[in-house]
Amino acid sequence: APLRLALVLLLAATAVLAKPASKIVGGVPSGEHEFPYQISLQQDRRHFCGGSLISDRFVLTAGHCTGTLISGLTVEAVAGEHDFSAPNKDAQRRVVDEFWVHEDYVVGMVAPNDIAVLRVDRPYELNEFVNLIQLPGKNVLHDGVCVISGWGSVSFGSFPVYPDVLQKAYLPIMDQQQCVTIWEGGPVADSNVCAGTVEGNSGVCSGDSGGPLVLEGPQHKEQVGIVSWGGVPCGGPNNPGVFVRVSYFIDWIEDKLARKD
């Protein structure tokens, strides 16, 4: 019996292990072109990660979203997308022609430094449907309620249900120490920021991996985080999403933005 109990406990423990996030649970469909900076990373026209447009040729995403690129497959970064099930004349498709993953990130792992910058083969045409998100100042610590957007699973259970329409949800930034305590022993670093509630009643874990967490101020919007990881199953209490803290990596990002050729 003790052995069987140990096995049950082991299975229970593995069920809540962190994994790269791909969910927006308890969100609502976004308005058309509400998030002109939202990028869909696609391989063979299939969406696999989110991203954000930070210049007319550069996309910010998670390091763990680059596995497809590392394996040499062609990846398209699609801007102006809203509903995958409907033809969209406003969408702009570009091929990723260069990418940089943070030197201290171990690809495929739930770990800090989960950040990457992608460059596309030719600039996007910026307009009301396709536009940039502003980066924060260096090392700025944000607080308040942020919006997350993505095409991640909308299912509370273990079986994903993927929407065609871009979803959004609102998440409060969580106190850093509280987040570290909740994910005791988990890889939450100073270079991360957490968002979600202790009650979990917003029912949101996180958006698509690589997608943006954005603070919408009265004057302007700026990107606070990149979706990195969360717990499984989704949306329960004590299960905040863990994001890359963009302000921590401003120098690293700016260095990549200078590499236009």
Give how far Cα 63 sits from Cα of 22, 90, 100, 105, 226, Å. 14, 28, 9, 7, 10
Whether 124 maps to a domain, the answer reads: yes
Q: Is residue 86 part of a domain?
A: yes
Co-location of 122 and 228 in the same domain: no
pLDDT reported for residue 8: 40
Inside any domain, residue 6: no
Examine the pLDDT at 9 and tell me if it is beyond 50: no
Whether 2 is covered by a domain: the verdict is: no
Domain shared by 115 and 145, yes or no = no
First to last CA, the chain: 64
Q: Which domain holds residue 177?
A: 15-30+133-247
- The C-alpha R_g of the chain, in whole angstroms, comes to 18
pLDDT in tens, 93-144: 999 999 999 999 988 787 899 999 999 999 999 999 999 999 999 999 999 9
Give residue 14's pLDDT.
35
What pLDDT is stored for residue 239 in this prediction?
79
Judge if 238 and 185 occupy the same domain: yes
Within a domain: 89: yes
Q: Is residue 119 domain-shared with residue 137, that is, in the same domain?
A: no
Check residue 231 and give its pLDDT. Answer: 67
Residue tagged 């099930």 (tokens): 85
Whether residue 4 is contained in a domain is answered as: no
Q: Which residues contact 195 (CB under 8 A, 6 or more apart)?
A: 146, 148, 171, 172, 173, 174, 213, 225, 240, 241, 243
Share of the chain residues as helix, strand and coil, in percent rounded to the nearest 5:
15, 35, 50
Do 168 and 179 belong together in one domain? Answer: yes
Q: What is the mean pLDDT of residues 218-238?
A: 81
Give how many domains the chain has, as a whole number: 2
| 62 & 181 share domain | no
Clarify whether residues 201 and 112 are in a common domain: no
Beta bridge partners of 214: 147, 223
Of the candidates 229, 244, 235, 8, the residue with the CA atom closest to the CA atom of residue 109: 229
Catalytic positions, written as ranges: 64, 114, 209
One domain, residues 114 and 208: no
CATH of the domain at 226: 2.40.10.10
Q: Are residues 118 and 76 in the same domain?
A: yes
62 falls within a domain: yes
Would 9 be classed as within a structural domain? no
Let me know: does 12 contact 145? Beta carbons within 8 Å. no
54: left (phi over 0), alpha (psi -120 to 50) or beta: alpha
- Between 35 and 2, the more confident residue is 35
User: 172-200 burial by CB neighbour count: b if 16+ within 10 A, else e?
Assistant: ebbebeebbebbeebbbeebbbbbbbeeb
Which letter does DSSP use for residue 88 in this model? Answer: -
211 and 185 belong to one structural domain: yes
Q: Are residues 112 and 224 in the same domain?
A: no
Close Cβ partners of 127 (under 8 Å, ≥ 6 residues apart):
none
Please tell me whether residues 114 and 49 are part of one structural domain.
Answer: yes
pLDDT (tens digit, 9 = 90+) per residue, 28-58? Answer: 889 999 999 999 999 999 999 999 999 999 9
